[in-house]
Amino acid sequence: MNLLMNFLSVAKMPTDDYVGFTFFVGCMAMMAASVFLFFSMNSFDKKWRTSILISALITFIAAVHYWYMRDYWIGTYDVATKAGDSPTFFRYVDWILTVPLMCVEFYLILKVAGAKKSMMWRLIFLSVVMLVTGYIGEAIDQSNAWLWGLLSGAAYFVIVYDIWLGSAKKLAVEAGGSVLSAHKTLCWFVLVGWAIYPLGYMAGTSGQWYSDLLPNLDMDVIYNIGDAINKIGFGLVIYNLAVQSSNK
C-alpha cells in the first residue's frame, strides 16, 4: 500500500519548469497509449495480438519510468538556476527494455513472410550494443564520448541498413500489402525518429567537441519528445496494421 501511495503521490512542479512539464506529458501520453492498446487487443485476429501486446508493454514500461524520472528531476530542480539533474540512468534502463522490444516488432509483423528468429536476435543485439555504448559515453566515460558515440552510431546504422535494404526489407516486399506499408512506416520512424537520440547524446556530452555544434540544447527535452513520438508512433503503426489485416 505504501508503495502504491508513493507512486501516486504528486511532487510539486514549478510553473516555469518546462523540462519537468515534458516529463509529465510524456508519462501521461504513453500511459494513455498503453491503456488504449491493452483494451484493443481482443478486437483483432489472434496472430496480431502479440504485436499489440508488445506495443502496449513498450509504452507502459516507458510511462512508469517517466513517472520516476519526473520525480527525480523535480527532486533535484534548483529554482534559482532553473536546472536539475538529468535522470540518465533511469532513461537508459527504460531504453534497454523498450528499444529491443521495438526491434521485436519487426520480426512479429514479418513472420507472415517467413522471418526467422535469427533476424530478431540480430536486431536485439545491435540495439543493446547501441544503448550500452551510448550509456558509457554519456554517463561513465565522457572524456571519450566521441568514441562511444561513434560505436553507438555504427550499431544504429547497421539496424537502419538491415530494415531498409537487408533481409527485413526483402521479407516485407514478399509479404506486400499492409505489412509492407507498416514496415516502411516503422523504417521511417527508425531513420528519422530515432535520429533525435544522437542529438540528445551530443547535447548530453556538450562539454566535449559537440559544444560548438549544438549550443543551448537541452538533452532531456530532446529525449522526452523523441520517446513520446517514437514509442506511441510504433504502437499506432502496429494497431493500424492489425485493423487493416482484421478487416480483410
| Predicted local confidence at residue 13, as pLDDT | 65
Query: Per the domain annotation, does 189 fall within a domain?
Result: yes
Contact (CB, 8 A) for 155 and 126: yes
Task: Give the C-alpha separation, 194 to 220, whole Å.
Answer: 15
**In sequence order, which residues have a C-beta less than 8 Å from that of residue 70 and are 6 or more positions away?**
11, 20, 23, 24, 27
pLDDT in tens, 104-123: 999 999 998 888 999 999 99
pLDDT in tens, 20-48: 899 999 999 999 999 999 999 888 888 88
**pLDDT range class, residue 244, cuts 50, 70, 90:** confident
Query: Per the domain annotation, does 10 fall within a domain?
Result: no
Contact (CB, 8 A) for 98 and 231: yes
Cα four-point dihedral sign 179, 181, 182, 186? positive
Query: Per the domain annotation, does 1 fall within a domain?
Result: no
Domain coverage including residue 229: 15-247
Task: Give the C-alpha separation, 226 to 195, whole Å.
Answer: 9
pLDDT in tens, 221-230: 888 988 999 9
pLDDT at 200 over 90: no
| Predicted local confidence at residue 7, as pLDDT | 47
Query: Per the domain annotation, does 55 fall within a domain?
Result: yes
Query: Per the domain annotation, does 6 fall within a domain?
Result: no
Query: Per the domain annotation, does 103 fall within a domain?
Result: yes
pLDDT at 164 over 80: yes
> Which CATH number belongs to the domain containing residue 119 in this structure?
1.20.1070.10
Query: Per the domain annotation, does 21 fall within a domain?
Result: yes
When divided into structural domains, the chain yields a total of: 1
Query: Per the domain annotation, does 221 fall within a domain?
Result: yes
**In sequence order, which residues have a C-beta less than 8 Å from that of residue 83 and are 6 or more positions away?**
77
pTM for the model: 0.88
